[in-house]
């Protein structure tokens, strides 16, 4: 399996399918690059080079004690881009991966990134504060941390209900829920715990303001994990060249009818 080794000795696993203009896919928490397999094949089938990595602490990459923060995630991605000598890059990020893509583009991607697509992404900032009253209270994230520590396996099974909107009647197969659990259980405990702070408390406001490439912002209208009012609806006001599409009734997890519609829109955006 292909890996790169970063300057701090972390092994980052990645997939590299097809050839053409590169598209890099960044996954959400608690998943890994397998979550993007359908989109990787879609990209490679349509003349793109599809690349997806497992973030440190996730999947097949090293389970590091340190570096489970957004700056390091973006730096790891930059080292992957350097190792593969990539340019004219399209970035695609879901949830936490949307934050990773935005930070990479703002801090490491000048002259190398052509366009960005996000889905259910965490920017500009998730946690509630006086300046972000639409955000999610810190107690919710404390609850996630407690769940990860107490019984991670059952916690991920329970979390899939709201992740995929099953509790709101969204049609997702039992297999999809099992896959969510499987990918979550491949993640290291320390990475799982630390990443909650990374995705919930990192402020991407200045990163978004710095972007000057086209950005397609997709968000489920019934996203219970990253509520749209504190995320996409604010992001579109901060970027210079953005397009927002809301998928009515769609959840946070990319599955079912939402995935089918989103993939059509992603392919159109990549080819535009």
User: Residue 176: its pLDDT value, please?
Assistant: 96
Cis peptide before 185 (omega within 30 of 0): no
Q: Please list, in sequence order, all residues whose beta carbon lies within 8 angstroms of the beta carbon of residue 70, skipping any fewer than 6 positions away.
A: 99, 100, 103, 198, 199, 202
pLDDT-derived band of residue 9, with 50, 70 and 90 as boundaries?
very high
Establish whether 252 is a catalytic residue.
Answer: yes
User: Residue 213: its pLDDT value, please?
Assistant: 98
Given the residues 61, 62, 95, 200, the one annotated as active site: 95
Whole-number Å distance between alpha carbons of 106 and 110? 7
pLDDT averaged over the chain? 98
Average pLDDT (170-198) is 97
Q: Is the pLDDT of residue 135 over 90?
A: yes
Enclosing domain of residue 227: 3-271
- Report the number of distinct structural domains present in the chain: 1
Given the residues 54, 207, 222, 223, the one annotated as active site: 223
User: Residue 81: its pLDDT value, please?
Assistant: 98
Q: Is the pLDDT of residue 227 over 80?
A: yes
Establish whether 272 is a catalytic residue.
Answer: no
Given the residues 27, 53, 219, 252, the one annotated as active site: 252
Helices (H), the chain: 37-45, 70-84, 96-108, 138-163, 174-185, 189-201, 205-210, 232-238, 256-271
**pLDDT tens readout for residues 15-54:** 999 999 999 999 999 999 999 999 999 999 999 999 999 9
User: Residue 22: its pLDDT value, please?
Assistant: 99
Establish whether 58 is a catalytic residue.
Answer: no
**pLDDT tens readout for residues 79-103:** 999 999 999 999 999 999 999 999 9
Report the CATH number at residue 117: 3.40.50.1820
């Amino acid at each position: 399996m292909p890996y790169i080794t970063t300057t701090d000795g972390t092994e980052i696993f990645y997939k590299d399918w097809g050839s053409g203009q590169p598209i890099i896919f960044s996954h959400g928490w608690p998943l890994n690059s397998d979550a993007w397999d359908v989109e990787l094949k879609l990209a490679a089938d349509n003349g793109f080079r599809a690349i997806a990595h497992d973030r440190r602490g996730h999947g097949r990459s090293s389970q590091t004690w340190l570096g489970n923060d957004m700056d390091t995630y973006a730096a790891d991605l930059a080292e992957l881009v350097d190792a593969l000598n990539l340019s004219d890059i399209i970035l695609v990020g879901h949830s936490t991966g949307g934050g990773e893509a935005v930070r990479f583009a703002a801090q490491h991607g000048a002259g190398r990134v052509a366009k960005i697509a996000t889905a259910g992404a965490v920017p500009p900032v998730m946690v509630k504060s006086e300046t972000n009253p639409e955000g999610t209270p810190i107690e919710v994230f404390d609850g996630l941390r407690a769940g990860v520590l107490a019984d991670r396996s059952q916690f991920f099974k329970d979390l899939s209900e709201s992740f995929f909107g099953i509790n709101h009647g969204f049609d997702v197969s039992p297999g999809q829920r099992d896959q969510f659990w499987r990918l979550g259980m491949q993640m290291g405990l320390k990475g799982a715990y630390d990443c909650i702070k990374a995705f919930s408390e990192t402020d991407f406001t200045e990163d978004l303001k710095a972007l000057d490439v086209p950005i397609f912002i997709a968000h489920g209208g019934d996203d219970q994990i990253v509520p749209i009012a504190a995320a996409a609806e604010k992001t579109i006001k901060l970027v210079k060249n953005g397009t927002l599409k809301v998928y009515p009734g769609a959840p946070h997890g990319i599955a079912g009818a939402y995935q089918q519609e989103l993939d059509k829109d992603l392919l159109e955006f990549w080819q535009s």
